[in-house]
């Protein structure tokens, strides 16, 4: 499962997530780990484009939360890629800035959440592209391990909570914040 921030102009026009230049980069990153759009479910925190494409407001995210919860329940993902700082602030509040936590796994109720830079950010700042590629590679390795473990006869064991690579720091306690600023997804 991939969760972004909100539909942009191209997504609003076509009614599909990640269809502009950022979507093309997302397709390339997915192909690099042996996946394509039919293999993943792509959604956004917000289900409609904010006016003037501004940053999402907390009350807007809260209004869309029932839809995201239902999507999560129906999809039952093994892993969730959290694209960009706005999605990170809503999905994993308090874990830290995207520049510090991208590429790390955060286990929540048996699901691996990994914050990554948004593909649009990498298009605007080419120095982020290598980090984004490495993060996708790490997710690809994690998913291979998940599917390998599931395919072994007589076992439905989860892979190690942390795939090879640097272990994420212990998640600090989320700062006190109004309930409408945090998405209680699971």
Q: How many domains does the chain have?
A: 1
Torsion of CA 146, 150, 152, 154, to 10 degrees: 140
Task: List CB contacts of 53: < 8 A, sequence separation 6 or more.
Answer: 8, 9
Residue 177 burial (CB count, 10 A):
12
Domain assignment of residue 164, given as a range: 2-181
Enter the pTM of the model: 0.81
Residue 186 covered by a domain: no
* Residues 22, 29: Cα–Cα separation, whole Å: 10
Task: Note the pLDDT tens digit of each residue in 103-143.
Answer: 999 999 999 999 999 999 999 999 999 999 999 999 999 99
Residue 140 covered by a domain: yes
Closest CA to 18 of 128, 117, 120: 120
Residue 99 covered by a domain: yes
Residue 23 covered by a domain: yes
In this predicted structure, the answer to whether residue 163 has a pLDDT above a threshold of 50 is no
Residue 130 sits in a domain whose CATH number is: 3.40.470.10
Which pLDDT score, from 0 to 100, does residue 104 have? 97
Task: Note the pLDDT tens digit of each residue in 8-60.
Answer: 888 888 888 999 899 999 999 999 999 999 999 999 999 988 888 788 888 99
Torsion of CA 54, 61, 114, 172, to 10 degrees: 110
* Residues 158, 172: Cα–Cα separation, whole Å: 24
């Amino acid at each position: 499962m991939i969760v972004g921030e909100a539909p942009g102009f191209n997504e609003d026009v076509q009614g599909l997530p990640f269809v502009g230049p950022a979507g093309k980069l997302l397709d390339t990153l997915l192909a690099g780990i042996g996946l394509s759009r039919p293999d993943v479910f792509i959604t956004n925190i917000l289900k409609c484009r904010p006016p003037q494409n501004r940053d999402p407001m907390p009350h807007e995210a809260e209004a869309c939360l029932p839809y995201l919860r239902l999507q999560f329940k129906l999809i039952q993902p093994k892993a969730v890629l959290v694209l960009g700082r706005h999605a990170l602030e809503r999905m994993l509040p308090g874990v830290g800035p995207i520049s510090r936590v991208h590429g790390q796994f955060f286990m929540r109720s048996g699901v691996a959440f990994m914050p990554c830079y948004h593909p649009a950010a990498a298009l605007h700042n080419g120095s982020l592209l290598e980090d984004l590629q490495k993060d996708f590679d790490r997710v690809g390795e994690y998913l291979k391990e998940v599917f390998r473990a599931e395919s072994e006869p007589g076992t439905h064991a989860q892979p190690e909570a942390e795939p090879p690579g640097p272990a994420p720091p212990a998640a600090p306690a989320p700062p006190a914040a109004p309930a409408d600023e945090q998405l209680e997804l699971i």
